[in-house]
C-alpha cells in the first residue's frame, strides 16, 4: 500500500478528534460539496479543506491538487484524512500526498455517501450514513 491505510468513517472521525493536528481533506467536486453536503468538523475546532481531486464538469485531474494541499499549511508528519464520495478518488489523493512526502495519508472507506446499493442508489453507507456531522454547503 502506498499510503498509510484505510479508515472507516467512524475511525476517521476518531483520529481527527484524538489528533489535534490531523486535517480532513474532502476531494470531491464543488458540485458535490454544494448539492450533497460537506463533513462538519467545526466541533473539533477546525474546518475541512475542500480540494477537488478531479475538476467538474470535465472530471479531469486537478493539476493544482498538490499545490492546493500544501497551501493548507500541512506539514510532513501531519496526518491527512482524505474523503471522497465512495472511497475511490480519495485513494489517489492519499497516494499523491504520500509520494509528495506528506502525511501519513489515510483514505476514508465508503466516502461521504458510499457506493451504489442494489437499487443503484447511494446513502446506505459512508460518512453521512454513519451519523457523523455534516451540513449543506
CATH number of 5-135: 3.40.250.10
68-81 per-position pLDDT tens digit: 999 999 999 999 99
* CB-count burial class (<10 Å; 0-12, 13-18, 19+) for 23: buried
Residue 43: φ, ψ to 5°: -70, -15
What CA–CA distance (Å, rounded) separates 6 from 10? 12
Secondary structure (3-state) at 27:
coil
30-44 per-position pLDDT tens digit: 999 999 999 999 999
pLDDT at 137 over 90: no
pLDDT at 1 over 80: no
88-125 per-position pLDDT tens digit: 999 999 999 999 999 999 999 999 999 888 988 888 89
Amino acid at each position: 500500500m502506498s499510503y498509510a491505510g484505510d479508515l472507516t468513517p467512524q475511525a476517521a472521525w476518531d483520529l481527527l478528534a484524538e489528533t489535534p493536528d490531523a486535517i480532513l481533506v474532502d476531494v470531491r467536486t464543488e458540485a458535490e460539496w454544494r448539492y450533497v453536503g460537506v463533513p462538519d468538523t467545526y466541533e473539533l475546532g477546525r474546518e475541512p479543506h475542500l480540494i477537488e481531486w478531479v475538476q467538474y464538469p470535465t472530471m479531469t485531474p486537478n493539476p493544482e491538487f498538490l499545490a492546493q494541499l500544501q497551501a493548507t499549511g500541512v506539514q510532513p508528519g501531519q496526518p491527512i484524512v482524505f474523503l471522497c464520495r465512495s472511497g475511490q478518488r480519495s485513494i489517489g489523493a492519499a497516494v499523491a500526498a504520500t509520494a509528495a512526502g506528506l502525511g501519513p495519508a489515510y483514505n476514508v472507506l465508503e466516502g461521504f455517501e458510499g457506493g451504489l446499493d442494489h437499487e443503484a442508489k447511494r446513502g446506505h453507507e459512508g460518512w453521512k450514513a454513519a451519523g457523523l456531522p455534516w451540513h449543506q454547503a
